Structure 1
């Protein structure tokens, strides 16, 4: 027998889903700010990147995107430092 959700339960799930989506966007925007601030230096050298505090579980939804963007940016910065005068180094710096 299939148990159906009532309207209030569906609305609660919808609100949680919308919140998780919004938080993923916010986390990706934070990553964009961090990448812009650390254009050539390592991301771990940026002092205000990580702070102590509580993190609700919803904020973890954006973590895979954060990790992906961080790896991409560190690879991009490595290539810029390694080949600064090459076409690739100039294109990645823009």
Structure 2
């Protein structure tokens, strides 16, 4: 590379910059794309925060239950409701700030 050149390293490429006999400045700019996974994580966080406010979700599971199926279905239904009713506007605002 000559002075003033720029080298682009794609995401995931490890590198180590070494000056070759002179003083050198190494400036790294990171670009973090918004991914569907990041949006899903924000959505899940919002849904879980909603569920924390639900007294039924904070209640202990019943003693002597014959199995988790009924409880699992109840939790799943409440989680799906929390996910589908989450306001998307704050999700995108939080993703932009991250």
Q: TM-score, normalised by structure 1?
A: 0.29
Q: TM-score, normalised by structure 2?
A: 0.28
Q: Which has the higher contact order (CA 8 A, sep 6+)?
A: 2
Larger fraction in helix: 1
Greater Rg, structure 1 or structure 2? 2
